Amino acid sequence: MNRDLPDVAANEHSPIQAPLEWVGMSGIDLPVTISEPGCPGPVHAVVDAQVNLPSATVKGIHMSRIYRMLNELSHQAEIAPAQLETLLERMIESHSDCHTDSARIRLRFNLLTRRAALKTPELAGWKSYPVRLEATLKRGELSLQASVQVEYSSTCPASAALSRQLVAQGFRDHFPDGKGVTTEDVAAWLEQHATLATPHSQRSEAQVAVTLCSDASSFGLMALIDRIEQALATPVQTAVKRADEQAFASLNGQNLMYVEDAARRIQHALGVHDSEAQIHVRHLESLHPHDAVASANGNPAMAAP
């Protein structure tokens, strides 16, 4: 015998009558295809999807409807801003009986791409970049934000200066005034003793959030990541040979930076292109048991010193 199954959310009223800002689901596993240069195949995204519930008397939303829409999203050939806007519009429309007028979706995933070695042309390896996308449609107004995380190496300028002082003093002690010194003598001493002291460096993280153009044809995530890595100049490497490791050491030596320097480099690289960017950098100190951090906006006011 066929019977209509009970629908409590639709047929009962909430005993406490109050509107809710967001209601929905979080932590949904979903394969999606994000079209980015050099990033093959779908990614494993973890998705949050919610709508608002302005009606004070409606007991609950229709979560299964949203879930089915997300399932359809996973079958899209690729996802761009337009697909997210369409999804949000459908989420709102599917909850017209709840008087819903706003919806949002968040996707967290890692972009995987191959990065070439610095010096060895045939050598490359896979590198992962954590990404977060958030799209919100509020009363017809779409906003779209992206956040990327980039790892790099940072060598402390103060530590480098202190190390150079010790090396210089060691050189003076070994070659007192009045002793004849040839170029070969100096080179031999440096090869053996230039590491009397070495500056400390550490793996570091840059987290950069930007507002995206809602009518763009793509998210431009790899372009943003490349701009950040070029600004910092010392991105962590994948596969290396000795020549690549030496080149990496040279990059660190030429790009000494405090956490303040790293934040300002990214700030300058983004400039007016991403004036609403939020920048947060973290150096996982090797000298201290705590981290050094700095935050900045993307469009600095260039005040005179």
Return the H-helix or E-strand segment holding 289.
Answer: none
CB 207, CB 294: distance < 8 Å: no
SS3 state at 112: strand
Please name the residue that has the structure tokens 């390896």. Answer: 125
Taking residue 239's Cβ as centre, other Cβ atoms within 10 Å add up to 15
Q: How far is the C-alpha of 168 from the C-alpha of 186, rounded, in Å? A: 12
Per-residue pLDDT of the chain (305 residues; tens, 9 = 90+): 456 766 766 677 777 889 999 999 999 999 999 989 999 989 999 999 999 999 988 989 999 999 999 999 999 999 999 999 999 999 999 999 999 999 999 999 999 999 999 999 999 999 999 999 999 999 899 999 999 999 999 999 999 999 999 999 999 898 888 678 899 999 999 999 989 999 999 999 999 999 998 888 899 999 999 999 999 999 999 999 999 999 999 999 999 999 999 999 999 999 856 667 999 999 999 999 999 999 998 766 544 33
Give the residue ranges of DSSP H helices in 56-114. Answer: 63-73, 81-93
